[in-house]
Amino acid sequence: MHWADKVAEELLRRGDKHRIATGITPSGHIHLGNLREMLTADAVRRALEDRGGKVKIIYIADTFDPLRKRYPFLPAEYDKYVGMPLSRIPCPCGEHKNYAEHFLEPFLESLKILGIDVEVKRADRMYKEGEYEKAIKIALREKEKIKKILEEVTGKKCDESWSPFMPICENCGRINSTKVTGFNEKHVHYVCECGHEGEVSYREGKLGWRIDWPARWGILNITCEPMGKDHAAAGGSYDTGKRLAREVFEIEPPYPVVYEWIHLKGVGAMKSSKGVVVPVREMVEVLPPEIVRYIIIRSKPERHIDFDPATLLDLIDEFEEAYTRKDRSVELSLVEKVNYCKVPFRHLVVVGQIANWNFNRVIEILRRTEYDVDVEDVKRRMSYAKKWLEKFAPERMKFEVRDIKEINVDFSKKELEFLRKFAEEVKNDMKADDLHNLVYVVASRVGIKPAKAFNAIYKAVLGKNYGPRAGYFMESLGTDWIKKRFIKVVELRS
């Protein structure tokens, strides 16, 4: 059984209405690693819906978190914003309402493209609009109890001045530099490292992460939540959250789905703070959404994923093979009713280049070579194939069919003889396999090594030593075209 179906069955034992929480801090580019959180939730949503469950995904953008440091991608002037909530820092490009929105907007666009339907909650607005007020009051009243639980679970002592609530200093705007000195029904008193002493309402500050999380479960009625393995580690924030949920907020904690990191091949775990990322917005420009989804959904959450842009085509081959046998991961990856037709993506990359990305020409080649074509789907995937080639493809996959005048490479006598004989032998009705076999037959007759024969073919068409698989390549170009081209090459050199 697929992992998402197992989670869905477990959840249905608890009830048939679910609210799955996801949360990402928009402090930098939201990347493929973060997407695992969203796609884990979405796969569970689809599995639940397939069983008649009612389910909603809530995406909580942690827009009220402080900027932890000046990241390498930020200009020096951002030093002064460290410690301030992300929603109150100016956007780096000047086009967005604030720093958080700068990273949030492209991510939300990507979620739409990926078919992940979410209710978006911005933490800064939740606090501003008083949604946390009750929880903050409980937390301040139960401070000693919370402190004891945190110390028991984490094994670490809290500071003497520790407080579950962090007021925002009216003077310096920072959220991580204040100490609570008292509170009443309306206000919380504080002193700040900047020297300021003052009071704020319950809407001008936030709960520390370990308290914020269980408070949020209660406020939003969360029943399930995917979480990175750091949160789920022994003594981690899920362990403290579970106890705080039951003993302080008097709610049941959500069912956890723990997931592993995504590593970028040769670089390491993706972390926005280190700048090691493939932004989601870039991924969804280059790859069809079903493939982006499949990269994540095909692996059990507890397995780490090595993402290697160089082997993406192998992964797409795997998807296409799995598609034909109605594999569950594929089913959970398809965004909407797409008629994924039987033209391999790999082949579109080759045919697209042969046709110089002329759509009608691509369709003509595919039809002539007897592919079962769905015009809409080919159009859709062809545009991805082109972008994939530009962005991710290894250099050796790129080629251009040259004009005969541009073929300036040298041919040996044997190579020319091979091309001449091949042109004589080639028949109009030959398919990719026949053409491939003919290369060996003619090469042996002429007395040239097959590798040299293939070189001669690529040189005659592309002006370089290598190219795509020769049989398919020649079939796509057309036997008639191949014949004329080889004769011409030989003529010009005799």
Question: Among residues 200 and 283, whose Cβ is nearest to Zn ion?
Answer: 200
Q: Does 91 bind Zn ion (CB under 5 A)?
A: yes
Cα separation, 71 vs 78, in Å, equals 9
- State the nearest-atom distance from the C-beta of 163 to Zn ion, in Å: 15
Size of the site for Zn ion (CB under 5 A): 11
What are the CB-based long-range contacts (under 8 Å, 24+) for 311-319? 311/265, 312/287, 312/388, 312/392, 313/345, 313/346, 313/349, 315/291, 316/291, 316/344, 316/345, 316/346, 317/344, 317/345, 317/346, 319/290, 319/291, 319/294
Site for Zn ion in 194-213 (CB under 5 A): 194, 196
Concatenating the DSSP letter of every residue in 124-172 gives HHHHHTTTTHHHHHHHHHTHHHHHHHHHHHH--PPPTT--SEEEPPTTT
CB-CB contact of 379 with 346 (8 Å)? no
- State the nearest-atom distance from the C-beta of 194 to Zn ion, in Å: 3
Label the pairing between strands 178-183 and 224-228.
unpaired
Q: Does 192 bind Zn ion (CB under 5 A)?
A: yes
- State the nearest-atom distance from the C-beta of 167 to Zn ion, in Å: 10
Q: Does 80 bind Zn ion (CB under 5 A)?
A: no
Q: Which residues of 19-50 are buried (b: 16+ CB within 10 A; e: fewer)?
A: bbbbbbbbbbbbbbbbbbbbbbbbbbbbbbee
Q: Does 82 bind Zn ion (CB under 5 A)?
A: no
Q: Does 172 bind Zn ion (CB under 5 A)?
A: yes
Question: Among residues 93 and 234, whose Cβ is nearest to Zn ion?
Answer: 93
- State the nearest-atom distance from the C-beta of 78 to Zn ion, in Å: 13
Q: Does 171 bind Zn ion (CB under 5 A)?
A: yes
Question: Among residues 128 and 196, whose Cβ is nearest to Zn ion?
Answer: 196
Q: Does 179 bind Zn ion (CB under 5 A)?
A: no
Write the interaction track for Zn ion spanning residues 100-139; mark x where CB under 5 A is met and - where it is not: --x-------------------------------------
Q: Does 185 bind Zn ion (CB under 5 A)?
A: no
Token pair for 19:
């609210």
- Report the DSSP beta bridge partners of residue 167: 205
Question: Among residues 95 and 395, whose Cβ is nearest to Zn ion?
Answer: 95
Question: Among residues 192 and 470, whose Cβ is nearest to Zn ion?
Answer: 192
- State the nearest-atom distance from the C-beta of 143 to Zn ion, in Å: 22
